[in-house]
Structure 1
Amino acid sequence: MLVDTHAHLLPYDYPDDAPECFPRMEPVDGETARTLLFGAMRFKAKDVFFDAERRLEAQHASGVDAEVITPMPPLLRYDLRPAEGMSLARHVNEFTATMCAHHPSRMLGLGMVPLQDPEAAAGELTAIKDMGLLGVEIASNIAGESIGDERFQPFFAEAERLGTAVFVHAMPTATERLPAAAMGTYVVGLEGAMAAASMVVGGTAGKCPDLRLAFSHAAGGYPLMLPRAQYFWGGSWNEEPVDLERAVAPDDGPSPLEHARRFYYDSLVFDHRAVRYLLDLIGPDRLLIGSDFPAMPREDPAGRTVLSMGLDEDTLQRITWDNAFDWLGIEAPG
């Protein structure tokens, strides 16, 4: 069995009386695709983004048994006024729940919330759960603010209390230090690293130890930061026993690696050597298969890099499906 934990959807349309700030989906002449218009964005969306039957056909074609489906990241517009953000989130969530209801065992939906209003976002988690959605997708920053900022801690505490899975999708932000062409490559890697690190150094990871949090693209450069963070925390090289005389900034909490090993990471890192590093450092019980489909084409078959690495059957089973159900907090099929 293989579960793709990083896949996206777009609603087919939006209400006629929606606010002007809402996206629009316009038909494409002679095609089943539709064009997403959202601010400056113009994106031609194939019907697999919003058609449940086409979705199932695509799963079958690539060897996927189930997908965790989340909103396309551009829909996570935290610059909208809170009421508008809530209205947009509810429309997207209703569409997601309806689409997933076509085949609940094959399409596992996550919703979205207006995190520009953390209190309202926390309050919406119960409604999301009542709709049959298994969690929420959030961006790696909230209109430029770190997700590890203390003002978002009540949201994460409520997600922990409700057992709600959270998927953090790297969201590029403008930076003057790299050209715009790097937004979807290097900046995504930086964003993932910053998001994961902020959850630790901001204190949220420590205050919410049972929060089930997953990061897209293996949290970018975060795993490579960990050995240095471990040295600063405990003075160890190669995860030797702690040597506080060498430690730069010791504390008595969990180590950086202990925090990191509570998170989940999708394996969409494009190279078996990077996957091997994650296995060695993080361990096999926190890795997930991800593809970014249909925004990006899947490997053929899905998860080909992981499947071709000669991993033992227990490790493969964990990565390809067991870990996904552990993260989502639901029982795996027998």
Structure 2
Amino acid sequence: MLVDAHAHLLPHDYPDDAPDCFPRMEPVDGTDARLLVFGALRFTAKAAFFDAEKRIEAQDASGVDAEVITPMPPLLRYDLPVADGLSLARHVNEFTTTLCAAAPGRLYGFGIVPLQDPDTATAELKQIRDAGLHGVEIASGVLGRPIGDERFRPFFAEAERLGLPVFVHAMPAPTDQLPASAMGTHVVGLQGATAAASMITGGTAAECPDLRLSFSHAAGGFPLVLPRAQYFWSGTWNEEPAVPERAFAHDDGPSPLDYARHFFYDTMVFDHRALRYLVDLLGHDRLLAGSDFPAMPREEPCGRTLRSLDLSPAELDDILWHNTFRWLGVDPPP
């Protein structure tokens, strides 16, 4: 069995009377694709983004049994006025609910919220749960603030209370340190790392110990800097017992690695050596198979590199499907 825990959707269209700040989905002549027009963004979306039958055909062709589907990250527009952001989120969430209802057991949908207003976003979580959606997707930062900022703590506490898992998708952010061509690669890796680190350093991981949180693309560079954070906490290499008098920041609570091993991470890292490192450092029980489909083509067959790692059958099953259902908090199908 294989469950793709990182896959995306786009609504087929938007209301005719939608605010001007909403996206548009325009027909593409001669195809069943749609053109997403959102400000300066132009993106051609194949039918698998919005057609349940096409999604299931694609799953079957790639050896995928189910998907966790989240809206494409450009829809996480935290720069919109709050009322417009809430209206957009509700339209997208309604479409997601309808799409998943067409293929129960094969599609597990997540909603979105206007996190630019934490109070509104927090209040919307119950509606997401009551609609039958399985979790909520957020971006790695909100208008220049990392998600570990204290102002978002009530949002995560409510997600924890409701038992809703959270998917953190790394998003490009403006920077003068790298060229624009690096937005989808290096900058995304930096944003993912900042988001995960902020959840630990900002105190949310400690305050919300039962929150089920997953990071896209293994939280970018976060796993590689974790041993350094561990050293500053413990004063030792290789996760050896802490020596407080040699540490820079030791306390009696969980270590950075302890907190990091409470998160989940998808496996979209493109290299067997990177996957091996994630297994060795974070544990096979923390990883979720993911593909970014249909925004990116799946590895064929899906999970091929994971299966090349010489993992035990139990470890491989954990990554390919079991961990995803643990993250979702639902029983796997028979």
> Which TM-score applies when normalising by structure 2?
0.99
Letter matched to residue 244 of structure 1: P
| CA–CA distance in structure 1, aligned partners of residues 156 and 69 of structure 2 | 21
Shift of 1:307: 1.3
Pairwise CA distance, 1:252? 2.4
SS in 2 for 1:4: strand
Q: Which residue of 2 aligns with 1:35?
A: 35
List per-residue Cα deviations over 1:248-286 (Å, max 9, x = no partner). 122222100000000000011001111111111100111
Shift in Å, 1:210: 0.5
2:188 partner SS = helix
Q: Deviations over 1:177-216 (max 9, x none)?
A: 0000000000111010000000000010110010000000
* Other-structure match for 2:159: 159
Q: CA offsets per residue over residues 31-72 of structure 1, 9 Å max, x none? A: 111100001001111111001100000000000000000000
**How big is the shift at 1:29?**
1.0
Q: Encode CA deviations 1:62-83: one digit per residue, 9 max, x unaligned.
A: 0000000000000000000111
Distance 1:254 1:95 in 2: 41
Distance in 1 (CA, whole Å) between partners of 2:236 and 2:165 is 32
Name the SS of the counterpart of 2:205 in structure 1.
helix
Distance 2:98 2:144 in 1: 32
C-alpha separation in 2, matches of 1:236 and 1:209: 26
The aligned counterpart of 1:235 is 235
Aligned counterparts, 1:242-261, within 5 A? 242-261=242-261
Take 1:250 and 1:308, find their aligned partners in 2: how far apart are those partners? 38
Q: How does 1:96-245 map to 2 (within 5 A)?
A: 96-245=96-245
Deviates more, 1:221-230 or 1:249-258: 249-258
**Separation (CA, whole Å) in 1 of partners of 2:248 and 2:152:** 29
Deviation, structure 1 residue 102: 0.7
* C-alpha separation in 1, matches of 2:4 and 2:209: 25
Query: Percent identity between the aligned chains?
Result: 71
Partner of 1:15: 15
Deviations 1:120-160 (A, max 9, x none): 11111111011110001100001221101000000000000
- Give the deviation of 1:308 after TM superposition: 1.7
CA displacement at 1:236 relative to structure 2: 1.7
Distance 1:169 1:9 in 2: 14
Give the structure 1 partner of residue 61 of structure 2: 61
TM-superposed deviation, 1:333: 2.3
Asked if residue 332 in structure 1 is aligned to residue 328 in structure 2, the reply is no
Report deviation, 1:309. 1.6
Give the match's secondary structure for 2:319: helix
Q: Report the 3-state secondary structure (helix = DSSP H, G, I; strand = E; otherwise coil) of the residue aligned with 1:13.
A: coil
CA RMSD for the aligned pairs?
A: 0.6
Alignment of 1:257-268 (within 5 A): 257-268=257-268
Q: How many residues align?
A: 334
Tell me, in whole angstroms, the C-alpha distance in 1 between the residues paired with 2:6 and 2:92: 17
DSSP-derived class of the 2:168 partner: strand
Q: SS of the residue aligned with 1:253?
A: coil
Query: Which stretches of structure 1, 4 residues or more, deviate above 6 A after TM superposition?
Result: none
Taking the aligned partners of 2:309 and 2:257, their CA distance within structure 1 comes to: 24
Q: Structure 2: any 5+ residue segments left out of the alignment?
A: none
- 1:25 is paired with a residue whose SS is strand
Does 1:276 pair with 2:276?
yes
User: Partner of 1:110: helix, strand, or coil?
Assistant: strand
- Within 1, Cα distance between the matches of 2:195 and 2:253? 20
Please name the residue that 2:26 is paired with: 26
Distance in structure 2 (CA, Å) of the matches to 1:130 and 1:156: 17
Q: Distance in 2 between matches of 1:30 and 1:185?
A: 32
1:306 aligns with 2:317: no
Supply the AA of the counterpart residue of 1:324. T
| Displacement after TM superposition at 1:303 (Å) | 1.2
The structural deviation recorded for 1:228 is: 0.7
What secondary structure sits across from 1:262 in the alignment?
coil
For residues 36 and 332 of structure 1, what CA distance do their matches in structure 2 show? Answer: 34
- SS of the residue corresponding to residue 166 of structure 2 reads strand
Q: Deviations over 1:211-260 (max 9, x none)?
A: 00000000000001111101111112000011112101222221000000
Name structure 1 gaps, 5 residues minimum: none
